[in-house]
Structure 1
Amino acid sequence: MFTIFRILLSRFTMTRTPSKPTLNWPNSLWQATADAGLNFGRLEESIETDLLIVGAGYTGLSTALHAIEHTDDVVIIDQAQPGWGCSGRNGGQVHPQWKSELQALKGMYPGDQFNAFIQTLGDAVDLVFDLINRYQVDCQAERNGSIIAGRGNTAIRYITQWSQFWAGKGKSVHLLDREKTSEVIGTSQYDLSMCDDRGGSLQPLAYSRGLARACSEQGVSIFGDTCAKNISQTATGWRVITDAGDIRCKRLVLATNGYTDGLWPGLARTIIPVASMLSATHPLPGHVASTILPGRQVAAEYAGVPAYYRIDEKNRLVFGWRGTLFGKIGGLKTAHLRAKALRLFPQISGTQWEYDWAGYVGVTPHQRPMLLKLSDNVYAGLGYNGRGVPMATMMGKQLALALNNEPTAIAIDAPRTVPLHSFYPVGVYSRIVSGHISDQFR
């Protein structure tokens, strides 16, 4: 046990809490392969608008696309460019499956709230592909299904219960035994899996840039390289001071998720930023690529520290796992991630890795996405717990409804501070170490 613990400790460096990253684009597969997209200039004047959105990721862009249907005066600002944060760094997996166990989720959402949330999970995936079709977003979108796989009794229970639940709801979800799982995924490491035909994949940065282009075409004003510094209330609404200008607005949305800082007092303490790291190989030979997810589904584990992976359109293996917990995400150490990939897929032995990158995922201790009312006409959406492609897109729609005082599928909450938030790196570190240990004995 001590040896395992020592090995796990060596994978992480306890130095300091994550500092604000530089605004350079990462060395990611997505940055290398996405179209350049529009470059949005910096705000360098004082302007007024009805709705201001801070953050040009999926949440902010989706909010703008839905809000512009009811107002012709929407502005988005971002400290970098659309998709610079985790909306352009994630694995591009579109899962309808939430990570919580079935009974735990029922406890989080009692009564009719549970059915509403379950409906929202499927609707969120549909919304992603609907927006792609409606606005002709070129982001390599495919809807070939999504797989959750695992080993050990806990994973078997989770997968069995959820697959039976979805089947009872009439959804096209298939329970796969060990042999079928090995055939469908290309590894013998799992005991069981389920495949949900509703899921799919996309190029996440191209999706972000496509949504930004759609926003611009619909009349949304976007300013890049514009960092919000201060928010104050005025007689008619709100004033946001940026590094080179200021904006007066009637309504305000904060859409910063895992990159939330101290702009709004206490908001950063409602969420835990967790680094997720990805690597991508050079294109695999055809005879190797055909053995890994030959149906071109996306896959993720149900595990203490889950990995997730897919094959892209050029036959690259894109593999994600937990990243650094302390310090900047720029100094990537990927040996543990690549070793994990090789254990699952020994057929890639000798393959060269081409790209490494990471981003911050917004995690909530209660595993619930949060639609927060911060003040009069001020809202925030965050906390997607690793399901950001569909859920952040859906959150944008819900925020637009909330702004218009219409019913929302996600309940509107008041902010709740994470207990002992200042010590969250230690808590996350402990959780991942214990997850690694439990995975060793599954």
Structure 2
Amino acid sequence: MPTSGSSNLWRTTSAEAFDAPPLSSDITVDLVIVGGGFTGASAALEAARSGASVALLEAGTFGHGGSGRNVGLVNAGLWLPPKDVLGILGETDGKRLIKALSNGPDIVFGLIEREGIDCEPVRQGTMHLAHSAAGLTNLRARFEQGALAGRSYELIDAAETANRTGTDRFAGALLDPGAGTIQPLAYCRGLARAAQSVGAHLHENSPVTAIAHDGKDWRITSGAHRVRARALLIATNAYQAHFGAPFAQKFIPVHYSQFATAPMPDSLRAKVLPNGEGCWDTALIMSSFRTDRAGRLIVGGIGDAEGMGALIHAGWARRKLRQIYPDLAKLPFEHHWSGRIAMTSDHVPKIVAPGPSALAVFGYSGRGICPGTVFGKAAARALLDGDDSVLPLPVLSGHDENLTGAKAAWYEFGATATHALFPRP
């Protein structure tokens, strides 16, 4: 179980320090953005670099929401296999989305290099691990879709998987050598720093209290001040404010928690993920693990480690660590934290138009770094140029999700029950 209370490792270790003042005066800009995560920061950077005036209002601090609580896997595409994406969206729109997201790692790592973002980037690939023989069958099907996804996947056997991970608990893996890992909060802060350096007006601790359109421009109110803009982007994702219709976004909130050990001894660090790949598995209630620059092992899984099932999720993390890496069984967890994911029923992101020259982007369903960066960049271009064709998906007039509270409770119940029943040694 955690030894030092709930604390977000990424906040402790972020090499990128960033802060911005609250909105303190009325301003007029070309584009106003609500939400300071990957999507909003990427959009602000793109808009400012293009020469447009842009203001971003964040209710808390940059990366406060899911972006600063992310696992940090820089993966291409969605959780869905490409054929499933085509089945949901059709050939034209499906290929449009797949193509846009297949370039995600190149875009993310390119921004990190261009802007000098100190976010522990490691581009040694990510591995989707087969937790069973059935999981390996699933990975073979995904491997066969590699060309469709625009990725050069490698299907590796159990022996090579053990060599790369330092554990023999998996039947094989699907390796994407062009993917990688980052410190997600540092990446988000780095995007914000870069946007500010080229003229973006960034404001933290500036919750939006009203959104209205006056027939010409958008008027966004925060406290006693107002931003006027011809275009609006809502990028709050799973941490949206209590906006009324038509600005409210419908999704299923799902929690994901992570547990970070103390740094491993050098002797074990050389054996556990020695190349620095990030991993997640094929289990129905999936889990993830990766290392950071200091050699901590970070174990993650669906469930709220700060909610009613906290002790169950913490106990699962300890047993999971013991199962995968017995030599680390006594290494203490020094940090644990949770974040919310905006899940959609079909696991496809949504772009909704809540009004003229306005977009709301949300629903990455657990894969936020590349989609957030790609969608934010594209949304800024679409709003500034008036050209929706640059977007990864068609714009919807609205999106609805039924029984979101019940579905969220079901996800948490399933994760808690699974973690409670996870084998004990």
TM-score, length basis structure 1? 0.87
Distance 1:329 1:217 in 2: 43
Indicate whether 1:405 and 2:383 are aligned: no
Does the CA contact (< 8 Å) of 1:329 and 1:358 recur in 2?
no
Does the CA contact (< 8 Å) of 1:305 and 1:322 recur in 2?
yes
Distance 1:123 1:97 in 2: 8
Does the CA contact (< 8 Å) of 1:59 and 1:396 recur in 2?
yes
- Name the CA shift for 1:426/1:326 in 2 (closer, same or farther; >3 Å): farther
SS state at 2:353 partner: strand
Structure 2 match to 1:162: 142
Distance 2:199 2:312 in 1: 39
- Name the CA shift for 1:359/1:266 in 2 (closer, same or farther; >3 Å): farther
SS state at 2:354 partner: strand
Structure 1 residue corresponding to 2:238, chosen from 258, 278, 289: 258
Structure 2 residue corresponding to 1:291, chosen from 254, 262, 271: 271
Structure 1 residue corresponding to 2:400, chosen from 390, 396, 417: 417
- Answer with 109-118 or 230-239: which moved more: 109-118
- Answer with 50-59 or 288-297: which moved more: 288-297
- Name the CA shift for 1:269/1:220 in 2 (closer, same or farther; >3 Å): closer
Distance 2:49 2:167 in 1: 47
Indicate whether 1:113 and 2:93 are aligned: yes
Distance 2:215 2:77 in 1: 44
Distance 2:418 2:315 in 1: 18
TM-fit CA distance, 1:258: 1.0
Aligned residues: 416
SS state at 2:373 partner: helix
Distance 1:327 1:171 in 2: 38
Structure 2 match to 1:303: 283
Structure 2 residue corresponding to 1:43, chosen from 17, 20, 23: 23
Indicate whether 1:235 and 2:215 are aligned: yes
Q: Kindly provide the CA deviation profile for residues 32-64 of structure 1, in whole angstroms up to 9, marking residues without a partner as x.
A: 111362321111332222211001111001111
- Answer with 322-331 or 98-107: which moved more: 322-331
Q: Kindly provide the CA deviation profile for residues 350-408 of structure 1, in whole angstroms up to 9, marking residues without a partner as x.
A: 11111111111111111101122111111111111111011100111121232122212
Structure 2 match to 1:94: 74
Q: Please list, as runs of the form range in 1=range in 2, the aligned pairs for 1:317-396 lying within 5 A after superposition.
A: 317-324=297-304, 327=307, 334-396=314-376
One-letter code aligned to 2:287: A
Distance 1:296 1:240 in 2: 43
Indicate whether 1:151 and 2:131 are aligned: yes
Q: Please list, as runs of the form range in 1=range in 2, the aligned pairs for 1:171-320 lying within 5 A after superposition.
A: 171-265=151-245, 268-320=248-300
Unpaired runs of at least 5, structure 1: 1-25
Structure 1 match to 2:115: 135
SS state at 1:241 partner: strand
- Name the CA shift for 1:127/1:328 in 2 (closer, same or farther; >3 Å): farther
TM-fit CA distance, 1:170: 7.2
Does the CA contact (< 8 Å) of 1:149 and 1:301 recur in 2?
yes
Does the CA contact (< 8 Å) of 1:304 and 1:439 recur in 2?
no
Distance 1:295 1:166 in 2: 23
Distance 2:18 2:306 in 1: 33
TM-fit CA distance, 1:332: 9.8
Q: Please list, as runs of the form range in 1=range in 2, the aligned pairs for 1:7-46 lying within 5 A after superposition.
A: 27-35=7-15, 37-46=17-26
Q: Please list, as runs of the form range in 1=range in 2, the aligned pairs for 1:32-71 lying within 5 A after superposition.
A: 32-35=12-15, 37-71=17-51
TM-fit CA distance, 1:303: 1.5
SS state at 1:283 partner: coil
- Name the CA shift for 1:169/1:333 in 2 (closer, same or farther; >3 Å): closer
- Name the CA shift for 1:169/1:59 in 2 (closer, same or farther; >3 Å): closer
SS state at 2:139 partner: helix
- Name the CA shift for 1:268/1:185 in 2 (closer, same or farther; >3 Å): farther
Does the CA contact (< 8 Å) of 2:9 and 2:335 recur in 1?
yes
TM-fit CA distance, 1:72: 2.9
- Answer with 346-355 or 242-251: which moved more: 242-251
Distance 1:222 1:230 in 2: 18
TM-fit CA distance, 1:128: 0.4
RMSD (Å), alpha carbons: 2.6
Structure 2 match to 1:8: none
Distance 1:302 1:110 in 2: 25
Structure 2 match to 1:4: none
One-letter code aligned to 2:395: I
SS state at 1:354 partner: strand
Structure 1 match to 2:3: none
Structure 2 match to 1:13: none
Does the CA contact (< 8 Å) of 1:278 and 1:320 recur in 2?
yes
- Name the CA shift for 1:279/1:327 in 2 (closer, same or farther; >3 Å): closer
Q: Kindly provide the CA deviation profile for residues 388-432 of structure 1, in whole angstroms up to 9, marking residues without a partner as x.
A: 011100111121232122212322223211112242333323554
- Answer with 317-326 or 387-396: which moved more: 317-326
